[in-house]
Amino acid sequence: MSLQTKANKRYLNLYFQVHQPRRLGQFSFFDIGTGRDYFDDDHNQIIMHRVAKDCYQPANLLLLKLIHKHPGIKVTFSISGSALRQMEVFAPAALESFYILAATGAVEFLSETYYHSLSCLKSKREFYAQIKMHDDKIHKLFGVRPVVFRNTELIYNDEIGRLIQGLGFKGIVTDGIERILHGRSPNRLHQHPEKNLSIFLRNYRLSDDIAFRFMQKNWSEWPLTPTKLVAKLDAMQATENLVTIGLDYETFGEHLKASTGIFQFLEGMLAKVAKHKTLEMVTPSQAISLIKPLDVLNVPESISWADENRDLSAWLGNGMQQDAFGSLIKMEAKINKTGDPRLLNTWRYLQTSDHFYYMSTKDGDDRGIHDYFSPYASPYEAFMNYMNVLSDLELQIENRVRDQVHSEYAKKTEFLTPDELKKLCNDQSKWKPETLTF
Partner 1 sequence: MKVLMFGWEFPPHISGGLGTACHGLTQSLAEENIQILFVIPKADNHTTNDGVKIINASSIIIPLREDHYPPETQREAEAATKTSNVITIVVRSGLQPYNSPGVLSQQSSITQWNYQFSPGSLEKVKNETHVRYQFTGGYGPTLMDEVENYAKVAAEISRQSTFDIIHAHDWLTYPAGIAAKEISGKPLIVHVHATEIDRAGENGDPRVYQKEREGMEAADRIVAVSQWTKNIINSKYGIPAYKIAVVHNGIDPKEKMKGIIVPPIGKRIVTFLGRITHQKGPQYFIDAAVKVLRKFPDVHFVMAGSGDLLPKMIKRVARLRISSRFHFTGFLKGDQVDKIWTATNVYVMPSVSEPFGISPLEAARAGVPVIISKQSGVAEVMHHTIQIDFWDIEALASAICNLLQYESLAKTLIHNGEEEVREITWTKAATAINRIYHELTD
Active-site residue set: 153
- The least distance separating partner 1 from the CB of residue 32, rounded to whole angstroms, comes to 9
- The least distance separating partner 1 from the CB of residue 318, rounded to whole angstroms, comes to 5
Query: Segment 315-354, which members bind partner 1 (CB under 8 A)?
Result: 318-320, 322-324
77 contacts 13 by C-beta, under 8 angstroms? no
Residue from 53, 92, 97 nearest 254 by CA = 53
The phi, psi pair for 247, rounded to 5°, reads -140, 150
- The least distance separating partner 1 from the CB of residue 358, rounded to whole angstroms, comes to 13
| Rounded distance between C-alpha atoms, residue 417 and residue 408, angstroms | 14
Does residue number 377 form part of the binding site for partner 1 (CB under 8 A)? yes
Residue from 90, 135, 91 nearest 113 by CA = 135
Q: With contacts defined by CB under 8 A, name the span among 54-62, 71-79, 281-289, 380-388 that binds partner 1.
A: 380-388
Which of 48, 73, 387, 397 is close enough to bind partner 1 by CB under 8 A?
387
Name the residue nearer to partner 1 (CB basis): 92 or 319: 319
- The least distance separating partner 1 from the CB of residue 431, rounded to whole angstroms, comes to 25
Which of 271, 331, 344, 384 is close enough to bind partner 1 by CB under 8 A?
384
- The least distance separating partner 1 from the CB of residue 343, rounded to whole angstroms, comes to 22
CA geometry: angle 57, 44, 111, nearest 5 deg: 60
Which of 378, 423, 430, 432 is close enough to bind partner 1 by CB under 8 A?
378
Does residue number 373 form part of the binding site for partner 1 (CB under 8 A)? no
HSE-CB at 83 with a 13 A cutoff on CA atoms is 23
The phi, psi pair for 34, rounded to 5°, reads -95, -10
The phi, psi pair for 156, rounded to 5°, reads -155, 145
| Dihedral of alpha carbons 186, 188, 191, 197, sign | positive
Name the residue nearer to partner 1 (CB basis): 215 or 384: 384
Name the residue nearer to partner 1 (CB basis): 27 or 115: 27
Report the amino acid identity of residue 251: T
Output the CA–CA distances (angstroms, integers) from residue 317 to 2, 204, 383, in the order listed: 45, 22, 13
- The least distance separating partner 1 from the CB of residue 394, rounded to whole angstroms, comes to 12
Query: Segment 246-275, which members bind partner 1 (CB under 8 A)?
Result: none
Does residue number 28 form part of the binding site for partner 1 (CB under 8 A)? yes
Q: With contacts defined by CB under 8 A, name the span among 6-14, 183-191, 330-338, 381-389 that binds partner 1.
A: 381-389
Does residue number 361 form part of the binding site for partner 1 (CB under 8 A)? yes
CA geometry: angle 210, 211, 217, nearest 5 deg: 70
User: Cβ–Cβ contacts within 10 Å for residue 338, how many?
Assistant: 19
Name the residue nearer to partner 1 (CB basis): 216 or 322: 322
| Rounded distance between C-alpha atoms, residue 171 and residue 168, angstroms | 9
Does residue number 30 form part of the binding site for partner 1 (CB under 8 A)? yes
- The least distance separating partner 1 from the CB of residue 30, rounded to whole angstroms, comes to 6
Does residue number 380 form part of the binding site for partner 1 (CB under 8 A)? yes
Does residue number 172 form part of the binding site for partner 1 (CB under 8 A)? no
Name the residue nearer to partner 1 (CB basis): 206 or 324: 324
Does residue number 376 form part of the binding site for partner 1 (CB under 8 A)? no
Name the residue nearer to partner 1 (CB basis): 169 or 325: 325
Q: With contacts defined by CB under 8 A, name the span among 26-34, 58-66, 134-142, 410-418 that binds partner 1.
A: 26-34
Query: Segment 299-318, which members bind partner 1 (CB under 8 A)?
Result: 318
Q: Which residues bind to partner 1, rule: CB under 8 A? A: 28-30, 318-320, 322-324, 361, 377-378, 380-381, 383-384, 387-388, 391
